[in-house]
Amino acid sequence: MTRLLHADAILLGDGTAVRDGAIVVEGNVVRAVGPAAELLPRAAGAAVERLRGVLLPGLINAHTHLELSGMRGKTPPGAGFVPWLTALQQARAEELEEERDAAIDAAIAAMQEAGVVGVGEVSNTLVAWARLSRRFFGTLWHEVFALDRARGLEAVAALPAARDGRAPARPNVRWAPAPHALYSTHPDVIRALVELAGDAPLTVHLAEHAAERAFLRDRGGPLAAFYASRGLSDAARAFPVPGIDPIAAARALGLLRPGAALVHLADARPEELAAVAESGAIAVLCPRSNLTIDTRLPPLVSLRAAGVPIALGTDSLASSPSLDPLADARALFERNPEVPASFLVAAATSGGARAIGWPELGRIVAGAAPGVLHIEGALPADADPSTWVLRVRGAARRLIVPAGGDS
Ligand SMILES: [Zn+2]
């Protein structure tokens, strides 16, 4: 069935917009997009749906941990990473399986309501994989962390069997292995994961907080105390820290490569960003999570100036108020007025699509099936549509065309 969607503005996902635009859709596939004045006469006979407000590609949440959805409100805000992690581990140990599963289902429903079509899920247990795969596209990163080399290599060797035991029948969310972070995963284990990943998308939490930098430099800072409190003093003492900063260390381990999703970079320094830009890696920013845990924001202006591609993620409900990547775009927009809203909306769509290894999502372009999200409302004639999308509160959102070309 051919549909013709006519809206006040269409955001194409690459930072550009068409005012008074139209999209011709067949099934889920975009056949044409452009000014309504050009497309309406060409599509005579098709049913025209006149929509008030803005259309944009389905959103991409490029970093989340669904299995932590039951941890909302169980961690102390603003206290820094180690107190947050300590509380998280305690609450996770006390959580019942039924509570966890109900929280995952609610989180999936909330992402669908927000207009998310693609996810970058990081998981230790794979419990959400099949459920995610029924509703979204993306990558599930099967995460390993281990200070101890032998234990970590054993965990890597066990990944394929764990994957095969949980693989959904229709894996729209594809499996890939990933290290947790440089301070929590032995360098040889990281190398083994990079090798196992092959050409699959790669991700790592990187330069999230100052504690990471302190530990990588000389095993100092709050992480050393945290490991001691967990009875891991020996493993932490034996951990071969590189004695260099996080981004240089990531480069040495082969993690800075084209398309690699580097999550957070909140503690990255402007002079470190050229190496990220040169590598072709993508920064996945989770600003509301950073604000919650550490009361700081990623260096968006420096990242943009360095030419680093940007995607947005929410992180989990243990540190983020919601799983809506447009809310993270808004959080950055409100605090960085010099950055155009169109850049941030592109980060929540095409930027995220690249980060999760589904570049065919995130852009409304002929031949693609990115899903079409309608944000309903009265767009003022003189308003920039991306700015309106980030400023409007309480507007109804509806995915009026699903993502994916085969249904
Ligand atoms: Zn994370």
Question: Tens digits of per-residue pLDDT, 154-211?
Answer: 999 999 999 999 999 888 999 999 999 999 999 999 999 999 999 999 999 999 999 9
Instruction: Check whether 407 has a pLDDT greater than 80.
Output: no
Using alpha carbons, list the distances in angstroms from residue 380 to 6, 327, 377, 385: 16, 21, 9, 9
pLDDT value of residue 137: 97
Q: How far is the CA of 318 from the centre of ligand 1 (A)?
A: 10
Helices of type H across 239-280: 246-252, 273-279
Are 67 and 50 within one domain?
A: no
Residue where one domain finishes, among candidates 355, 371, 387? 355
Range 226-246 average pLDDT: 93
Q: How far is the CA of 46 from the centre of ligand 1 (A)?
A: 45
What percent of the chain is predicted at pLDDT more than 90?
Answer: 94
Question: Higher model confidence: residue 403 or residue 2?
Answer: 403
Q: What CA dihedral angle connects 351, 357, 363 and 365, to 10 degrees?
A: 150
Are 45 and 81 within one domain?
A: no
Residues with CB under 5 A from ligand 1 (ion): 315
- Given a contact cutoff of 8 angstroms between Cβ atoms, the answer to whether 179 and 142 are in contact is no
Measure the N-to-C terminal CA separation of the chain; round to a whole number of Å.
12
Q: How far is the CA of 400 from the centre of ligand 1 (A)?
A: 30
Are 227 and 370 within one domain?
A: no
Q: What total of structural domains would you count in the chain?
A: 2
Question: Tens digits of per-residue pLDDT, 328-364?
Answer: 999 999 999 999 999 999 999 999 999 999 999 999 9
CATH number at residue 398: 2.30.40.10
Instruction: Check whether 101 has a pLDDT greater than 70.
Output: yes
Q: How far is the CA of 205 from the centre of ligand 1 (A)?
A: 6
Helices of type H across 167-272: 187-197, 210-218, 222-229, 233-238, 246-252
CA distance 132 to 113: 14
Q: How far is the CA of 333 from the centre of ligand 1 (A)?
A: 22
- Given a contact cutoff of 8 angstroms between Cβ atoms, the answer to whether 328 and 349 are in contact is no
Tell how strand 59-64 and strand 173-179 pair up.
Answer: unpaired
Q: How far is the CA of 229 from the centre of ligand 1 (A)?
A: 22
Q: How far is the CA of 24 from the centre of ligand 1 (A)?
A: 37
Are 208 and 271 within one domain?
A: yes
CA distance 250 to 206: 8
Are 152 and 198 within one domain?
A: yes
Range 236-260 average pLDDT: 95
Are 302 and 180 within one domain?
A: yes
Using 50, 70 and 90 to split pLDDT, how confident is the model at 406? low
CATH number at residue 326: 3.20.20.140
Residue range of the domain that includes 158:
59-355
CA distance 226 to 117: 37
pLDDT value of residue 171: 80
CA distance 282 to 204: 11
Are 30 and 97 within one domain?
A: no
Residue where one domain finishes, among candidates 316, 336, 355? 355
Smallest CA-to-CA distance from 311 within 270, 275, 271, 361 is with 361
Neighbours of 127 (CB within 10 A): 16
Q: How far is the CA of 300 from the centre of ligand 1 (A)?
A: 18
The alpha carbon of residue 249 and the mean position of all alpha carbons in its chain are separated, in whole angstroms, by: 22
Are 253 and 158 within one domain?
A: yes
Are 6 and 139 within one domain?
A: no
Are 350 and 297 within one domain?
A: yes
Neighbours of 323 (CB within 10 A): 26
Amino acid at 197: A
Q: How far is the CA of 68 from the centre of ligand 1 (A)?
A: 10
Question: Tens digits of per-residue pLDDT, 257-286?
Answer: 999 999 999 999 999 999 999 999 999 999
Angle at 345 between CA 344 and CA 346, to 5 degrees: 90
Range 371-400 average pLDDT: 97
| Average pLDDT over all residues of the chain | 95
CA distance 47 to 140: 38
Amino acid at 231: G
Residue 173, φ and ψ in degrees, nearest 5: -100, 110
Are 149 and 290 within one domain?
A: yes
CA distance 45 to 313: 41
CA distance 267 to 124: 25
Question: Tens digits of per-residue pLDDT, 13-46?
Answer: 999 999 999 999 999 999 999 999 999 998 777 8
